[in-house]
Chain A
């Protein structure tokens, strides 16, 4: 009995330890060599969303999407109702889409909207001077259906919030959510690995003080 127990214990312990997966499929996230990401002390990151239309829903969905890309709590976000305490402020650029649930859009992606995210450095160049600002814009050059606009807004909000996490470059691959003209609705494996690598890389730019 005793010998069997010992043999069993040795077999259990002797099994090889798992090898950490290689994370080699990632794209650059620095800006001219500088790296920005939210440090542990600033997580959860505070997001303020424009109160008009469904911006809050779009931002909440995008935060959840990016939270799912990390394994060990490296990034998380929370909504705040006061823009003066926010780390990231997301607003409509000009026109605001109606806040009605659109029918599902299963068609090819159209570029019914776009966005811009601005990080303003302070005079030292080593920290942000103010909260990150993201603006989402509805494209008016062409008429799109409500479903097409809604699908575009979901894609672009995830993309722009990717910049607020510190993905400061566009991906060169159109299968990635961080591709310049977003064509997919969720982060790819490359986006996934890039965020993970970013959140274990030492930053050179600090967030704006709260």
Chain B
């Protein structure tokens, strides 16, 4: 659906449906905490993030939406105070949720969905692939007073999400449980199609 929407003429979007885009940067906590002689952490570097959200305005204060979030980062190994890049990963997260205005110019959103990690090389901890992991997310969207009333709903987005992570290779190596991964992204958003209220 999200792939088709940008090619659709604006006039075909129902009046209450809007498409928002957000670009920014994302911090991700460690995917793996290991100890091989010394502590070893694997963590994505801070990287760019892009999100597209489609929402339908209703008469209720709660607005349902769907969000597709993509981010890119290099994978780094931290040990003994040194950092080494050894792979890179694209993450794709899809969530559905609801949002509502909680203060003037400030919208909150909560959602849930799934996330998939796509490494650039199927090596090491990714050599036997990755699974699909459940994801919970919460975000805030703030439209500065100077921009309120601007037709594109330009504003700042702060998004937090959390999911668990492991791979078959890690499991085969003896990791019997999964790692909790936190992500935080900060971005600038705007409505790119349709009409509606404040962006997610």
Query: Footprint of B on A, CB under 8 Å?
Result: 5, 8-9, 12-13, 15-23, 40, 67-68, 70-74, 76, 192, 196-197, 199-201
Contact = CB atoms under 8 A, between A and B. Distances in A.
A197 B169 CA distance: 17
Contact of A18 (B82, B136, B178): B178
A41 to B, nearest CB: 9
Contacts of A5: 110, 138
23 contacts: A5-B110, A8-B136, A9-B136, A12-B162, A17-B177, A18-B177, A20-B35, A21-B173, A40-B84, A67-B124, A71-B125, A71-B170, A71-B173, A72-B40, A72-B77, A72-B86, A72-B124, A73-B86, A73-B87, A74-B86, A196-B36, A200-B36, A200-B40
Please indicate which of the listed interface residues B36, B175, B177 has the most CB atoms of chain A within 10 Å of its own CB. Answer: B36
A165 B138 CA distance: 46
Nearest to B127: A68
B95 to A, nearest CB: 14
Q: For chain B, which range describes its interface: under 10, 10 to 19, 20 to 34, or 35 or more residues?
A: 35 or more
A176 to B, nearest CB: 17
Contact of B179 (A9, A17, A76, A197): A17
A197 B180 CA distance: 25
A139 B110 CA distance: 69
B82 A20 contact: no
B128 to A, nearest CB: 9
B19 interface: no
B23 to A, nearest CB: 27
For the residues of B in contact with A, the DSSP-based class is strand
Contacts of A70: 124
Contact of A71 (B37, B162, B169): B169
Given A5-B110, A68-B127, A72-B86, A15 B180 contact: yes
Contacts of B9: none
Question: In the complex, which of the residues A12, A16, A199 has the most CB atoms of chain B within 10 Å of its own CB atom?
Answer: A12
Contact of B82 (A9, A13, A40, A67): A40
Contacts of A17: 33, 177, 179-180
Contacts of B166: 18
B175 A21 contact: yes
Contact of B124 (A13, A71, A201): A71
A200 B124 contact: no
A74 to B, nearest CB: 8
Contacts of A20: 33-36, 175
A200 B79 CA distance: 9
Interface string B77-113: 1010010101100000000000000000000001000
Contacts of B34: 20-21, 71-72
Residue of B136, B162, B173 with highest tally of chain A CB at under 10 A: B173
